[in-house]
């Protein structure tokens, strides 16, 4: 059995296989792994990411009207944390999110979402003066 070999595709992904006849690319717009050709017997294929090379972060004031969480359009993941001192829940979702249909975060709670375009995320609350913190991995 041949030793596994790393085939570096870009800063976001690589493939490890036991056959050097694996040809693959990462689509730069969708970040999808595109396997072009496999020759020979491949025992193991593992897809992983490289370490983060950049981040973005911020604090967003949330009230009774939906607010976009970020204008960033390219990332691997985003963590959204409701401020510990919030006096009400905040709700996360896409445009049109409400306190009835959003994902609830109580004060101090957080969620990590693996999403390539975090600009589609919005927040709303049942009262003014709330805050969320965001930390994104590029």
Rounded CA-CA distance 17/4 in Å is 5
Return contacts of 99-107, CB within 8 angstroms, 24+ apart.
Answer: 99/124, 99/125, 99/126, 105/80, 105/81, 105/132, 106/82, 107/82, 107/83
Residue with tokens 């896409």: 94
**In Å, how far are 7, 43, 57, 82 from 46, measured between CA atoms?**
11, 10, 30, 35
Residue spans in the chain of domains classed CATH 2.60.120.770: 55-137
pLDDT at 74: 85
**Which CATH number among 2.60.120.770, 3.40.1390.10, 3.40.50.10420, 1.10.3720.10 corresponds to the domain 55-137?**
2.60.120.770
Rounded CA-CA distance 43/55 in Å is 35
pLDDT at 87: 98
pLDDT at 56: 95
Token pair for residue 32?
């999808």
The whole-model pTM stands at: 0.67
pLDDT at 114: 86
Contact (CB, 8 A) for 74 and 37:
no
pLDDT at 51: 58
Token pair for residue 121?
């995320």
Instruction: Give average pLDDT by consecutive 10-residue segment, the chain, 138 residues.
Output: 44 45 60 61 52 86 98 91 98 98 97 92 98 94
């Amino acid at each position: 059995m041949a030793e596994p070999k790393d085939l570096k595709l870009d800063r976001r992904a690589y493939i490890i296989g036991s056959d050097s006849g694996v040809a693959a690319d990462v689509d730069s717009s969708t970040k999808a792994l595109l396997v072009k050709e496999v020759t020979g017997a491949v025992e193991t294929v593992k897809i992983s990411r490289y370490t983060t090379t950049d981040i973005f972060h911020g604090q967003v004031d949330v009230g009774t009207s939906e607010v976009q969480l970020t204008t960033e359009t390219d990332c691997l993941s985003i963590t959204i944390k409701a401020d510990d001192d919030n006096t009400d829940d905040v709700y996360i979702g896409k445009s049109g999110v409400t306190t009835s249909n959003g994902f609830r975060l109580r004060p101090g709670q957080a969620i990590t979402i693996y999403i390539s375009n975090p600009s589609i995320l919005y927040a709303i609350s049942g009262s003014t003066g709330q805050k969320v913190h965001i930390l994104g991995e590029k």
